[in-house]
Amino acid sequence: MTPIYLGYTFTIEPRDPATEIIIAELGYAGFESFTETTSGVIAYIQKEEAFPSGEVDFAALLSDIQILNSDEFNIIYTAEEIEQVNWNEEWEKNFEPIEVDGKCAVRAPFHEKTDVEFDIVIEPKMSFGTGHHETTHMMIKHLLKLNVASRKTLDMGCGTGVLAILAEMRGAQPIDAIDIDNWCYLNTIENVERNNCKHITTYEGEASLLSDKNYEFIIANINRNILLQDIGVYASCLSEDGILLLSGFYTEDIPLISEKCNEHGLYFVSNYERNNWVACKFEKRG
């Protein structure tokens, strides 16, 4: 069943640096995706995750967001339940093509083709992973530097499928792309076809699908709590000397994530940092 989302539209003055701060605070509160606008940001969270009882209290969800009480910024918001989002319409309003390290471009179908080695065409629905969010951008940077040719690969929490698509473009195969969200699952299938990928299989589900799997390379761009819950599962299906890329958390979370990885034979190698978000590389060692 397609999840119902709650959408909070924040109007912020002055916009910077408050937008970065509120996104960080909302991320800790469980919000899972954000669209920056000229006047602030729109934040999304699944209704079932926020209010398991089904009774929605929009204000209660923001009770721990400290910046809302700051005298430095004027922040107002509206909130609504969203059963289906015309994400393509929002996309066309707000999206500009991006380029990472002069090698990879992520663009919408209505943009002109770019003169880079890896030209990825993405048309999202209600799914996360366009290259604009810091975590996706940094995971692309990692993928551009790693040798993934012929490596069996997993993109966990695939969103739009952009990372799985880039992995195939860089030679990885076969690739499994998994997301718990039905819209993401369907969107990945569409984007895989749009980019003429032949080695990506898409699944709807969660870490329980990995019980009999084995990979040489795993990408997981989700959020801190889910990663902490599932790192052991990733480790169990990652081959010796395999690489695990993790993102969806903040610089200050690195010790906690690293400690959990160490418990399962995964050791920190390096990371990228962008606006306090990080993307970390771990290696499995015996």
Comparing 110 with 167, the larger pLDDT belongs to 167
Please count the CA atoms within 13 angstroms of the CA of 212 that sit on its side-chain side.
Answer: 0
Please count the CA atoms within 13 angstroms of the CA of 189 that sit on its side-chain side.
Answer: 9
138 backbone φψ class: left, alpha, beta (φ>0; ψ -120 to 50): alpha
Reported confidence tier of residue 175, pLDDT bands at 50, 70, 90: very high
Give pTM, 2 decimals.
0.74
Distance CA 84, CA 6 (A): 11
Domain final position from 65, 84, 103: 84
Q: Are residues 79 and 98 in the same domain?
A: no
Mean pLDDT of 28-48: 86
Mean pLDDT of 233-259: 96
Q: Is the peptide bond before 14 cis (omega within 30 degrees of 0)?
A: yes
Question: Is pLDDT of 223 > 70?
Answer: yes
Tell the residue number behind the tokens 């604009």, with chain if given.
132
Domain total for the chain?
Answer: 2
Mean pLDDT of 150-157: 97
State the greatest distance between any 2 C-alpha atoms of the chain, in Å, as a whole number. 54
68, 241, 243, 247, 278 from 6: Cα distances, Å: 18, 41, 35, 23, 26
Q: Are residues 115 and 62 in the same domain?
A: no
Domain final position from 22, 57, 84: 84
Distance CA 135, CA 277 (A): 6
Domain span including residue 115: 94-284
Question: For residue 2, what pLDDT is reported?
Answer: 62
Tell the residue number behind the tokens 């589900």, with chain if given.
205
Q: Are residues 265 and 125 in the same domain?
A: yes
Of 12, 24, 11, 10, the closest CA to residue 276 belongs to 24
Question: For residue 158, what pLDDT is reported?
Answer: 94
Question: For residue 12, what pLDDT is reported?
Answer: 96
User: Is residue 178 a part of any domain in this protein?
Assistant: yes
- CATH assignment at residue 60: 3.30.70
64, 120, 142, 149 from 173: Cα distances, Å: 44, 17, 17, 7
Q: Are residues 273 and 240 in the same domain?
A: yes
Question: For residue 112, what pLDDT is reported?
Answer: 87
117-122: which pairs have CB atoms within 8 A and are 24 or more residues apart? 118/144, 118/166, 118/169, 118/170, 120/162, 120/165, 120/166, 120/169, 120/195, 121/191, 121/194, 121/195, 122/160, 122/161, 122/162, 122/165, 122/191, 122/194
Of 160, 122, 164, the closest CA to residue 143 belongs to 164
Q: Is the peptide bond before 17 cis (omega within 30 degrees of 0)?
A: yes
Residue 156's beta-bridge partner residues?
A: 178, 220
Q: Are residues 124 and 67 in the same domain?
A: no
Distance CA 135, CA 276 (A): 10
Q: Are residues 80 and 113 in the same domain?
A: no
User: What is the share, in percent, of the chain residues with pLDDT greater than 70?
Assistant: 91
User: Is residue 89 a part of any domain in this protein?
Assistant: no
User: Is residue 122 a part of any domain in this protein?
Assistant: yes
Q: Over the Cα atoms of the chain, what is R_g?
A: 18
Rounded to a whole number of angstroms, the distance between the first and last alpha carbons of the chain is: 41
Sign of the Cα torsion 114, 280, 87, 37 reads: negative
Question: Is pLDDT of 221 > 90?
Answer: yes
Question: For residue 159, what pLDDT is reported?
Answer: 87
Sign of the Cα torsion 247, 110, 46, 193 reads: negative
Domain final position from 32, 55, 84: 84
Comparing 200 with 37, the larger pLDDT belongs to 200
User: Is residue 63 a part of any domain in this protein?
Assistant: yes
Express each pLDDT in 87-109 by its tens digit. 556 655 666 788 999 999 999 88
19, 162, 252, 253, 258 from 270: Cα distances, Å: 27, 22, 15, 14, 11
